[in-house]
């Protein structure tokens, strides 16, 4: 076969997740996340996270890679988190490698099962196909992780925007606490 791409190397700062050369950066602010938190997601311009993606074609022959830098913070008592998504091609899998900070990886199936996994420096999370995934910063420093996933997976945000995750992670008296999401619809 004729190779589609030439090899390349990107340098990553393993503590901050920053990539050099700096690839495509997507920013998510509270205003982009209306309806996902139980409380009012304000101020709208508050930065919640950045995703630094290494651009490769969205084909199942490729591997998409990105770092996510998720700021610490709260909306009411709910920790800052990513939007969360199923893969548009449902059976596509993904791995996360934790680099810094203290987080949780919340996963859910379409039939309403959920799991909460640790996400911190040194964790390698395997996200099988069919599990929606959202990362949550429960610490006081940025949560940084590297993600790699099948190139044609795509992001289905609508399903999570419509039904939510079965649980939320909130700041309780003794630390991060899992509570039922009252707005969850299966």
* 51 touching ligand M6P, by CB under 6 A: yes
Interface positions with Zn ion (CB under 5 A): 94
- The answer to whether 92 contacts ligand M6P (rule: CB under 6 A) is no
Which two three-digit tokens encode residue 6? 């030439």
Q: Is 66 in the site for ligand M6P (CB under 6 A)?
A: yes
Query: How far separated are the first and last CA of the chain, in Å rounded?
Result: 45
Question: Could you give the 3-state DSSP secondary structure of residue 126?
Answer: strand
Residue 101 interacts with ligand M6P (CB under 6 A)?
A: no
Helix, strand, coil shares, percent, the chain, to 5: 5, 45, 50
In the complex, the smallest distance separating the C-beta of residue 88 from ligand M6P, rounded to whole angstroms, is 11
The entry of Zn ion, ligand M6P, none that residue 102 binds, CB within 5 to 8 Å by partner kind: none
For the CB of residue 147, give the shortest distance to ligand M6P in the complex, in Å: 4
- C-alpha–C-alpha distance, residues 106 and 78, integer Å: 13
Give dist(CA 58, CA 87) in Å, integer. Answer: 13
CB 24 within 8 A of CB 53: yes
The yes or no reply on residue 85 touching ligand M6P (CB under 6 A) is: yes
Measure Cα distances from 68 to 2, 139, 142, 158, 186 in Å: 33, 15, 10, 20, 28
The smaller minimum CB distance to ligand M6P, of residues 84 and 170, is found at 84
147 lies in the binding site for ligand M6P (CB under 6 A): yes
Beta carbons of 139 and 80 less than 8 angstroms apart: no
- Is there binding between residue 52 and ligand M6P (CB under 6 A)? no
User: Minimal distance in Å, beta carbon 13 to ligand M6P?
Assistant: 16
Q: Which two tokens stand for residue 109?
A: 């199936």
* Residue closer to ligand M6P, measured from CB, 67 or 170: 67
The residue range among 9-17, 80-88, 108-116, 173-181 that interacts with ligand M6P, by the rule CB under 6 A, is 80-88
Binding site for ligand M6P (CB under 6 A): 51, 66, 68, 82-85, 94, 147, 155
């Amino acid at each position: 076969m004729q190779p589609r791409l030439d090899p390349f190397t990107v340098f990553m700062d393993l503590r901050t997740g920053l990539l050099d050369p700096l690839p495509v950066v997507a920013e998510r602010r509270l205003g982009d996340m209306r309806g996902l938190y139980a409380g009012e997601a304000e101020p709208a311009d508050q930065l919640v996270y950045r995703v630094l993606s290494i651009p490769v074609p969205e084909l199942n022959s490729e591997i998409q890679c990105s770092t996510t830098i998720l700021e610490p913070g709260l909306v009411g008592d709910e920790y800052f988190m990513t939007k969360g998504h199923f893969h548009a091609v449902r059976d596509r899998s993904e791995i996360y490698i934790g680099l810094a900070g203290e987080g949780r990886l919340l996963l859910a199936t379409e039939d309403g099962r959920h799991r909460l996994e640790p996400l911190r420096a040194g964790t390698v999370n395997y996200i099988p196909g069919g599990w929606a995934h959202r990362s949550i910063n429960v610490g006081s420093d940025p949560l940084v992780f590297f993600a790699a996933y099948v190139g044609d997976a795509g992001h289905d945000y609508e399903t999570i925007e419509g039904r939510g995750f079965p649980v939320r992670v909130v700041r309780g008296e003794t630390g991060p606490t899992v509570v039922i999401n009252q707005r969850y619809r299966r």
